[in-house]
Amino acid sequence: MEAARDVKAEDVTALDVRELSSFADVFVVATGRSDRQVRAIADSIEKTMKQAGAVPLGIEGYAEGRWVLIDLDDVIVHVFVPEARAHYDIERLWSDAHRIDLPASAHAKVVR
């Protein structure tokens, strides 16, 4: 998720939910310090995906900017302000999911 990191997204986490969900393979969770930064992160991800030929199926929550959900089919991206991330606690809700190592390179691996 270099697109998120490029605009200073914090605490970017990926969860492998293939064995737990019928609607997605991976959840990516990131934090922006303000509603403006959350929208900038969402914009960067959307732009990068479109350049790669993958148009998001939907984007929710953009106007408010507290929790933006980007549906990339098998990947669902959640970008939160800190308070909303703590409140919804996606990582705890999906605690049975394996975390995916997100190194600087484009090659990620599942951490077991």
8-57 residue pLDDT tens: 789 999 999 999 999 999 999 999 999 999 999 999 999 999 999 999 99
- pTM, rounded to two decimals: 0.85
Domains of the chain, each with CATH number or no CATH? 2-110 (3.30.460.10)
Q: What is the pLDDT of residues 54-86, one digit of tens each?
A: 999 999 999 999 999 999 999 999 999 999 999
Q: Which of 4, 80, 90, 101 is nearest to 46 (CA)?
A: 4
Q: Which residues pair with 105 in a beta bridge?
A: none
- What distance in Å separates the CA atoms of residue 46 and residue 91, rounded to the nearest whole number? 23
Decide if pLDDT at 109 tops 50: no
At 112, the pLDDT band (50, 70, 90 cuts) reads: very low
- Provide the residue count of the chain: 112
